[in-house]
Amino acid sequence: MWVPTDDGESAEQKASKTMQRLFTFVSINIVRAQLEGAGNDGGFIPQATGLNGEVESPDFNDLRNCMEDIPLGDGNEWLEEMLQRNPALALRIMDVRSAYCDDFDWAEAEELSRRMIEKGNASLMIKHIRNTSAMDESDINSS
């Protein structure tokens, strides 16, 4: 199907940019959770968590500050800024982003998208019929 473009980017190119942003967002949150001690069987990581339960890792503080200060409009731009502040942490996030991209279930995402569109279209058509005709819901469901 031919799709017009306003800025020369195909729908697939725009989707890939959105997915890159999503993968960056997810990888930031994975690393944040790791720094908080999540995923280690319920214990706490001494280098990340103090005796009072507060997260005391300098990396955690850098990550939190970047999450608050840098808008995640573009994943690469966000990581470029993180590289200026904490190169080791930025590299860790990039590694996680690559691993998450490899693990992402593309087939499931495609199937979920198809089902959401079909369900959304059906719901919108029913609402439209209901709003533009004298039929009630039982008439719509029986046809």
Q: Are residues 82 and 40 in the same domain?
A: yes
- Total structural domains within the chain: 2
Phi and psi angles of residue 51, each rounded to the nearest 5 degrees, phi first: -60, -25
- Give the pLDDT score at 6: 75
pLDDT digits (tens, 9 = 90+) for 39-59: 655 555 555 556 666 666 788
What pLDDT, on a 0 to 100 scale, did the predictor assign at position 125?
A: 95
pLDDT confidence of 9, banded at 50, 70, 90?
confident
**To which residue do tokens 């369900």 refer?**
119
CA distances from 88 to 19, 62, 73, 85, 115 (A): 24, 11, 22, 9, 41
pTM given for the model? 0.75
Q: Decide which of 50 and 103 is more confident.
A: 103
Q: Longest C-alpha distance within the chain, in Å?
A: 68
- Domain of 92, in residue numbers: 12-104
Does residue 6 belong to any structural domain of this protein? no
Torsion angles phi and psi, residue 55, rounded to 5? -75, 125
Residue 4: what pLDDT? 76
pLDDT of residue 41: 57
